A and B are shown apart, each in its own frame.
Chain A
Amino acid sequence: MTVHTPIYLDYSATTPVDPRVAEKMIPYITEHFGNPASRSHPFGWTAEQAVEEARDEVAKLVNADPREIVWTSGATESNNLAIKGAANFYSGTKGKHIITVQTEHKAVIDAVRELERQGFTATYLAPEPNGLIDLEKFKAAIRPDTVLASVMLVNNEIGVIQDITAIGNICRENNVIFHVDAAQATGKVEIDLENLPVDLMSFSAHKTYGPKGIGALYVRRKPRIRIEAQMHGGGHERGMRSGTLATHQIVGMGEAFRIARLEMKAENLQIRRLRDRLLSGLEEIDEVYVNGDMHQRVPHNLNISFNFVEGESLIMAVKNIAVSSGSACTSASLEPSYVLRALGRSDELAHSSIRFSIGRFTTEEDVDYTIALMKSKIGKLRELSPLWEMHLDGIDLSKVEWAAH
């Protein structure tokens, strides 16, 4: 089997649409929506029935009631709708304080910042160095006026899994609405919303082999959680989200989540095997550091800092593999990843980090090629690096007085 470069190892940024998903979507692209004639759909289903079937599939993956699933244009919209919608609805009765975590996705952080501009206050909890939050610190952050907490299930950059059950229970005890961004979690970890103490949960299709431009928000019915709509119009989605969303995209998300439900167990075993292979290969390189907890973590993600190698030259060096340095959403800027900074990583280590994310179509050959490439390129860049030379000479770089630039 030959390796085709560049090798895609950026499944956390986006996934290919599974061919089975695409096949199911395409007839609905050519279908009229809102056409009375579509009541006699060639496949025996109306667009509306297809949408409801997809809603069932999304609900099934996370063990929720289909009536608890609201379609959105993606996880960014779900996060905005959940956070602004619940904060605004309950602020009058509960208060205007929000708790979130410094390592959340930008869509959560920036939605909370927007609420701060509107008069809310917020606590951005620092995670522990392994990326997980300390439950005691979370508890201590709760105030009498705390209305909402938002904590992601699986981190997009470092793949760590937060203890949503424990955090949710603390929220319940303190009468705090609890939102969870699960965009990176579906198909990777079991989600059982019937038993999880979670009020609102965001989902995305394109991180789970579905199409871009479609997502969903889970809104708990028992006890009923209310949100203020952020988009008004025809009153779709029981008034929570107006605007016609594309039938083919909804169908795609349903099929992607159905496949995830059926295949995630076997797939995760396969991905864990590939991850272990990748990790043991890369660990043969000196001075590499895994970012984030290795146990409470999805196998799909391996985020590694290569010490004494500069980040941008590292990206140039690895152009035969498609990987991400930090989150895709921030990689346009040269800022070190705010997630790694929040873990207490130095700028240098944050700059020299690579996120390898493995997925459904990754092969063993891809992994072996990646290991060989990394070994050779890291070796070459370190040959070039005065810092590596100093390290080999036994100089403690933290004690060096650098000429300020």
Chain B
Amino acid sequence: MSHQHIYLDNNGTTLIDPRVLDAMLPYFSNQYGNATSRHLFGRAARQALDLAREQVAEAAGAHPSQVTFTSGGTESNNFAINGMASNNEVARQIAVSAIEHPSVTRPAFALRTKGFRVGVIAADHFGKIDPLSLEVALEKPTSLVSVMLANNETGVIQDIKMLTEIAKSKGVLFHTDAVQALGKLPLSFEKLGVDAMTISSHKVNGPQGIGALILNKRVDIQPLLHGGGQEKGLRSGTENVAAIVGFGAACALLKNELATRTETTQKLRDSLERELVAMGANIFGDKSHRLANTSFFAFNEIEGETLVMALDRKGFAVASGSACSSDSTEPSHVLMAMGVAPDIARGAIRVSFGANNTNQQVTDLVTTLQSEVQRLRQLTAIAV
């Protein structure tokens, strides 16, 4: 990796914090017990899990007993959707927002083979979920609503508490995918009032391959994985001790660092966006409450993929939408849901800052954007 390469894709994944790695390393050497074993090695692993569970719970504003570790955000979302909805023999609709991650929408649609229908909740032009659309969806008997807390592309933050109250008034369970929210805004499972919440480690400078579902214990949920009965029977499989310890350590850092990280990234993002406005870019979701680190924007007549590749050659790592869909040339489903014209949506690129980015990097990015946009426009003009 070239040292000049500037990483601006922190909503995709984050670099592991060296302090997190340090916490994990013993679990790749002398701390190797299976947490289920009763001997010293097992008990040491169990204690490490207990501590990590407390650290994760604190960062999520939840009680440690509400934390179920999984292999990541995708598994947590599948677990919540399958486990909470499929229990309901009567209300056979799952309502998901139009801007969800595929790990929410795909398991929901997969349940159609078991006789469920999927209701889609609309978003407005600013990327906010329309409460009226939720109310309309809930006119059909519904088992579960899933609306993400912060969108991975636009960074738009939903008023989950308000949406939860609508669902609660109908007795419907509520799940929120908070993968992008953890580490970027203060998070409280209790205050949101949701029944289940997905979080993931590698978005908060922790290791990959580990996540959690925070769960209201009154909710009846079916496990996705059956077996040895780990995680109180909710998630079988030998606990991934090293990764859980890393996730815990990453969450523990948030206690003292979340505020500064938010402040730092907000300054960088705002100074970038001042320049973007001057350059005539369309910034998506800017009229909404957004994650401090995220900017999702497009230049007219420039393909997002093309601009991402051009920036990559100049040493900037940015994304053209969600990482999972970056292979496809379809415009972002999030922007489509917001009613953005496909031509403009195809131009979208996402810059997501981390606390270690600098003002100089923003200045360099802006300079590069100006020259690349001009160059690409000229190419387009010639082609026309």
Contact = CB atoms under 8 A, between A and B. Distances in A.
Please determine if A and B sit in direct contact within the complex, based on CB atoms under 8 angstroms apart.
yes
A19 B29 contact: yes
B228 A106 contact: yes
Point out which of A10, A25, A105 has the most chain B C-beta atoms below 10 A from its C-beta: A10
A110 B230 CA distance: 13
**Which 10 pairs across A and B sit closest by C-beta, in order of nearness?**
A213-B240, A246-B209, A243-B74, A107-B227, A329-B228, A233-B103, A232-B106, A76-B237, A73-B71, A246-B208
14 contacts: A6-B40, A14-B34, A17-B29, A26-B25, A29-B21, A33-B208, A76-B228, A76-B237, A80-B225, A244-B208, A248-B207, A323-B39, A325-B38, A332-B36
A30 interface: yes
B103 A74 contact: no
B193 interface: no
Interface in B1-48: 1-2, 5, 7, 9, 12-13, 15-16, 21, 24-25, 28-30, 32-34, 36-42
A319 B40 CA distance: 8
B324 interface: yes
B324 A231 contact: no
B226 A107 contact: yes
B238 A35 contact: no
Given A34-B9, A233-B103, A233-B324, 5 more contacts: A10-B34, A34-B12, A73-B209, A213-B238, A234-B103
Nearest to B81: A232
B72 A243 contact: yes
Contacts of A76: 225-228, 236-238
Given A17-B29, A29-B24, A244-B208, A107 B228 contact: yes
Contacts of B103: 232-234, 242-243
B36 A13 contact: yes
B7 A212 contact: no
Given A234-B103, A246-B243, A213 B40 contact: no
B42 A13 contact: yes
Contact of B238 (A74, A247, A332): A74
B225 A33 contact: no
Contact of B71 (A15, A213, A331): A213
B101 interface: yes
A46 B154 CA distance: 28
A40 B2 contact: yes
Contacts of B37: 10, 13-14, 322, 324, 328, 331
Interface string B185-227: 0000000000000000010000111100000000000001111
B226 A213 contact: no
A113 interface: yes
Interface in B325-368: none
Interface of B: 1-2, 5, 7, 9, 12-13, 15-16, 21, 24-25, 28-30, 32-34, 36-42, 71-75, 77-78, 101-103, 106-107, 109-110, 202, 207-210, 224-230, 236-243, 308, 312, 317, 323-324
A230 interface: yes
A35 B9 contact: yes
Given A231-B78, A233-B106, A246 B238 contact: no
Interface in A1-48: 6, 8, 10, 13-17, 19, 22, 25-26, 29-30, 32-38, 40-42
A32 B101 CA distance: 21
A229 to B, nearest CB: 8
Nearest to A41: B1
B29 A22 contact: yes
Nearest to A250: B209
B56 to A, nearest CB: 16
A230 B230 CA distance: 19
B271 to A, nearest CB: 23
Nearest to A72: B71
Contacts of A325: 38
Contacts of A246: 202, 207-210, 243
Contacts of B101: 233
Contacts of A211: 28, 240, 242
A6 B75 CA distance: 36
A249 interface: yes
A300 interface: no
Contact of B236 (A17, A36, A110, A244): A110
A232 B224 CA distance: 12
Interface string A335-363: 00000000000000000000000000000
Nearest to B114: A118
Given A32-B15, A315-B38, A231 B75 contact: yes
A248 B9 CA distance: 20
A74 B230 CA distance: 13
Contacts of B226: 76, 80, 106-107, 110-111, 113-114
Contacts of A54: none
A234 B227 contact: no
Point out which of A17, A246, A322, A323 has the most chain B C-beta atoms below 10 A from its C-beta: A246
Contacts of A248: 207-209
A79 interface: yes
Interface in A233-267: 233-235, 242-249
A294 to B, nearest CB: 25
A234 B102 contact: yes
A331 B36 contact: yes
B5 A37 contact: yes
A26 B20 CA distance: 12
Contacts of B241: 212
Contact of B208 (A10, A15, A247, A315): A247
A110 B227 contact: yes
